Amino acid sequence: MAQSFTLSASQLLYSRVEAEYSPKGRSGYQVVFHSPSLSATEVSAIERRVQCFQGDGDRLQFFTLETGRVAIVYSTIIEPDMRINDKEGRRGAFIAHALIFEPNDFARVRNDPFLVLEAERESPIFVNEPQVLADEIGAKKATIPIMVSATPRRTVEPPSGWSAPELAKLEDWMERGRTDQTLMFLADATQTEELMSVIHFFASPQERLALSFDTAVDGCQPTPGMYWAVGGRKRLSNAKIIIVEYDKPRLPDIPPTAPKAVGYGTWLKHSLKESVTNTIEMIPTAQFLAGLWAENRWQNPDFELSAVATQQFVQFHWGAIFPRIISALEIHLGSAMAQNFAQALSRLGWQPQTQFRMAIEQQVDVKHLAHYVYHWLLMTNTTDLANEADKLLALADVAQYLPLRILALLNQKKGLFNRYKQSEALSQTLDYAVNTSLQNGNNLFEETLLQLCPKFTTPDRLVTQFTAPFIAQHLTGQNYPEDIIINVIDAFLDVGAGRHLAPLTEFVSRLSSKSLQQIQRKFKNTMPAPQFAQAVDMRLRQKF
Amino acid sequence: MFGIFAKKVRFTCPRCLRQIKVPEKESNRDYPCPECGYVMPIAYIKGYETAPPLFVQMFGMSSHGKTLFLDVLRLNLMGIDAHWGQYTHRSLTELDIEKEKNLRTDVERGLLPNSTQPRERNQNEVYIMQLKQIPRWGSRTLVVMDHPGEYFESLNVPHEEIPFLIGTPTTVMLISIPDLIKNERGESMDHLLNAYITTMERNGVNFSRQRRKLIIVFAKADIIPNLSPSLKHYLQDDHVWSEIQTGYGSHRLDGQGLLEYLERMHRVSNEVKDWLKHDAQNRRLGGRTLVKLIEDTNIEARYTVISSLGQDVSRDDAAVYINPRRVIDPFLWALEFQSR
């Protein structure tokens, strides 16, 4: 066991003893020791459940006390020691050893008694011999430490006769919990223990506490409802004891409980019908996710979640998870865009675990979101996002994610965005430049844009009302060919950014009269910077 | 449809003693007690009038031999048709059938019964045996519950776990003098009676108005060192078991033979009472106080001596083949008490 933690259990020992070993100084069956932490009511409640045992081997019991404490009891028939147990040496004497856990402690093993039993097997605790009993009575240990693996996991194999539909029906009974009815498995104690191990493996941690059991009730007439299930070879005659043959199980149908939005039980039933073997592999992950959903709180798993199980679980509950994802996204994307974007999450490669986490936490890592929105904008067919530009810009600013900001800005000029999307080389260059910028710790848009401009041959594609001043500043002093200069100036005028053309006045002297005439024609639509307009006007007059 | 005028069947739950009244039509099936959930067999309900129940409550210290006595009594009642011509017996529940089977095999293998475990009231096992055409008393249904001796060893007897104790008039108090002699804790027979009386009084039993009946049974009598010679002779002079075993006997327990047997039981009862009062050993063990307490408390008591095994058993004996003596006597006293 590489890493482990210690559970602390109170204890109670019950057996037949001679007066010398009795706390009351009398012979007979009795509680021979109990931890002082147990109240008289608790001692009495445990005693009532353990005192009758007519088996011929071992018995395992699991139940919750009214105080919320949890008891696991192991009983075994002993060869009585005439000095310690029975001076007459009569048959049938037994020792019952109860370990009692605080609810919070027991939750650390996910309320699974069989994880405690596995730890017990590693390092035996239960008293099963008269002399050990006598020693324990003398030792008066108030608590028993139990070393449990820090990441306890187990697996099971369902009994061969139990088909997937019967196991699925069992889930209905598990969900219903303890009622005034009790399931009775016609089986020996070992078979019942194995079956209960499977049932507890299938059950969610929340369900487990209600799945109390007693593996050997022959000759003890259990009260219906005292346990969720009992085991025995002799059929009990009581309308509230539901007999289930271990070898040929046929569970009565009961109406399922009201389905929960994200119900582990409904998933389990569905999954069992698909494949029992796969379900067993997926159960730990599904239980973990369902537990998080129930608590409405994310917690990092202490084991490797199965990607397949997570995907299946999220898919199965998509109807409940999707609205909560939308709700988380709406904060950044607004309702319409959130709806569209959420539908593309899987296509974008957004991991099911991340989707699930977002649904639970109702918040999203903005950098992560900005990155995926950027890629979504590139692949989506929804071209008209002009109305969403403000939201995209805000997200890009919060996330300080430049590629998205650039896309948002480009998007403000209809058509330009589409050109950008079509230019793979351009987008790659843009990505490269932005990432470089990010890696250098310089994530200011302006600087990035300036770095971008020399990297592509047609900077006009980047011209918007917002980018124009920076592009103009960048081009100053550069030796661009005439056709590029013309295109850029054209783009300035087309997007209504003529007022930012002043820095480009120096280029006017290098342009042909034909080009200048073409530019001047556009002055009618957009007023250029006066300095630029005058330079064009003067140049044309000089030539003609 | 049935209304309040429909014919009702009345009976008593053999586990919790609740009085039950159901329309006759509903009595044609096993019936669960609304109080304790015990499922009463249809034969018990049907035979309630013709074979009324005979409740037997045992009271005695741990390992004094209560369970062994009940087991051996049952073995006697399973085979006593050799003495009672028209008599038949019938086990009414699965538990009883199982018990019969186990008893027969245990006797063959020489096994003694287990130590009795405590149980909750609604877990108590009830043994129901229908006994038809018993000479003198007719048909009866013997209803027996066994409880561990530790219940009776203090003044706080858990009476709620033992419904017969308060609810039925007759109790069989079983005492093993050899165990009291060996006892190092100063237990005595008057302590046991005191526990009984105190429990009754705490539960509102007024002994002066309501006469209780006790059958005081001295078990393991064959190994009581100070047993009087005449009582020793009475114990040994019992042929019931040997004639059950052989299936043949000349000591029939019906008609005149039964009357003579009962008269002898009376004499023995008085003799045991005197022996308790006057024997020095018994006085040390509280025998005299026991008799005095019984008389002072207005309890009607009968005294018997029995041996369930008929021999002293060593702890090392691998198998014990029983030869019981006078085990039928307490049963006959119970019949006498509950028939008046």
Residues A440-453: pLDDT tens digits? 544 444 555 554 55
CB-CB: which of B39, B150, B184 is closest to A238?
Answer: B39
pLDDT of the residue at B45: 93
> Does residue B38 register a pLDDT over 90?
no
Q: Do A221 and B125 touch (CB under 8 A)?
A: yes
**Which residues in chain B have their CB less than 8 angstroms from residue A223's CB?**
37, 120, 122-123
Here the tokens at position A106 are: 């027991």
| Best to test chain A binding among B40, B112, B114, B309 (most A CBs inside 10 Å) | B114
**Which residues in chain B have their CB less than 8 angstroms from residue A87's CB?**
63
pLDDT of the residue at A285: 94
Q: What residues contact residue A48 under an 8 Å CB cut-off, 6+ apart?
A: B120
- Cβ atoms of A148 and A115 within 8 Å: the answer is yes
At B106, the pLDDT band (50, 70, 90 cuts) reads confident
Q: Which long-range contacts (CB under 8 A, 24 or more apart) does A140-145 make?
A: A140/A33, A141/A11, A141/A35, A142/A10, A142/A35, A142/A36, A142/A37, A143/A8, A143/A9, A143/A10, A143/A11, A143/A35, A143/A37, A144/A8, A144/A9, A144/A10, A144/A11, A144/A99, A145/A6, A145/A7, A145/A8, A145/A9
Question: Which amino acid does the sequence have at A87?
Answer: K
pLDDT of the residue at A406: 72
For residue B151, the chain A residue with the least C-alpha distance is A28
CB atoms within 10 A of CB B9: 18
d(CA A408, CA A204): 46
Q: How far is B21 from chain A (nearest CA, A)?
A: 20
Q: How far is A143 from chain B (nearest CA, A)?
A: 27
What is the DSSP secondary structure assignment for residue A22, as one 8-state letter? Answer: -
Q: Do B153 and A28 touch (CB under 8 A)?
A: yes
**Which residues in chain B have their CB less than 8 angstroms from residue A27's CB?**
62-63, 149-150
Q: Do B118 and A52 touch (CB under 8 A)?
A: yes
Q: How far is A65 from chain B (nearest CA, A)?
A: 17
> What pLDDT digit, counting tens, does each position of A105-136 carry?
999 999 999 999 999 988 899 999 999 999 99
Helices A530-543/A513-522 angle, 10° precision: 140
**Which residues in chain A have their CB less than 8 angstroms from residue B37's CB?**
223-224, 238, 240
- Sequence spans of domains, chain A: 4-149, 164-245, 457-544
- Predicted interface score ipTM higher than 0.90: no
For the whole model, what pTM was predicted?
A: 0.75
What is the DSSP secondary structure assignment for residue B31, as one 8-state letter? Answer: E
pLDDT above 90 covers a percentage of chain A that reads 45
**Which residues in chain A have their CB less than 8 angstroms from residue B94's CB?**
234, 237
Q: How far is A75 from chain B (nearest CA, A)?
A: 14
Q: How far is B316 from chain A (nearest CA, A)?
A: 9
Q: What residues contact residue B198 under an 8 Å CB cut-off, 6+ apart?
A: B155, B157
**Which residues in chain A have their CB less than 8 angstroms from residue B184's CB?**
19
Q: Do B150 and A224 touch (CB under 8 A)?
A: no
**Domains, chain B, ordered by start:** 1-47 (2.30.30), 50-338 (3.40.50.300)
**Which residues in chain A have their CB less than 8 angstroms from residue B114's CB?**
90-93
Max Cα distance, chain A (Å): 136
A403: left (phi over 0), alpha (psi -120 to 50) or beta: alpha
Burial class of residue B276, CB neighbours in 10 A (0-12, 13-18, 19+): buried
Q: What residues contact residue A203 under an 8 Å CB cut-off, 6+ apart?
A: A174, A211
CB-CB: which of B62, B94, B119 is closest to A27?
Answer: B62
Burial class of residue A359, CB neighbours in 10 A (0-12, 13-18, 19+): buried
**Which residues in chain B have their CB less than 8 angstroms from residue A221's CB?**
119, 122-125
Q: Give the up-direction half-sphere exposure of residue A476: CA atoms within 13 A in the CB hemisphere.
A: 12
Distance from chain centroid for Cα B148: 14
Residues of chain B contacting A, Cβ within 8 Å: 30, 32, 37, 39, 62-63, 94, 98, 111-115, 117-120, 122-125, 148-150, 153-154, 184-185, 315
d(CA A413, CA A494): 10
pLDDT of the residue at B296: 94
> Does residue B159 register a pLDDT over 80?
no
pLDDT of the residue at A42: 97
For residue B117, the chain A residue with the least C-alpha distance is A52
d(CA A301, CA B90): 64
Per DSSP, what are the bridge partners of residue A8?
A: A145
First-residue to last-residue Cα distance in chain A = 94
- Cβ atoms of A227 and A215 within 8 Å: the answer is no
d(CA B275, CA A152): 70
Here the tokens at position B30 are: 């096993």
**Mean pLDDT across chain A:** 85
> What pLDDT digit, counting tens, does each position of A436-483 carry?
544 554 444 455 555 455 544 556 666 766 667 767 877 777 777 788
d(CA A409, CA A79): 87
Q: How far is CA B260 from CA A331, B79, B83, B251, B328, in A?
A: 103, 21, 14, 11, 15
> What pLDDT digit, counting tens, does each position of A246-256 carry?
999 999 888 77
Nearest alpha-carbon partner for B287 in B297, B298, B275:
B275
Distance from chain centroid for Cα A15: 46
| Best to test chain A binding among B33, B62, B94, B124 (most A CBs inside 10 Å) | B62
**Which residues in chain B have their CB less than 8 angstroms from residue A82's CB?**
315
pLDDT of the residue at A384: 59
pLDDT of the residue at A456: 46
Q: How many CB pairs below 8 Å do chains A and B form together?
A: 85
At A332, the pLDDT band (50, 70, 90 cuts) reads very high
> Does residue A322 register a pLDDT over 70?
yes
**Residue B245 vs residue A532, higher pLDDT:** A532
CB-CB: which of A29, A87, A240 is closest to B117?
Answer: A29
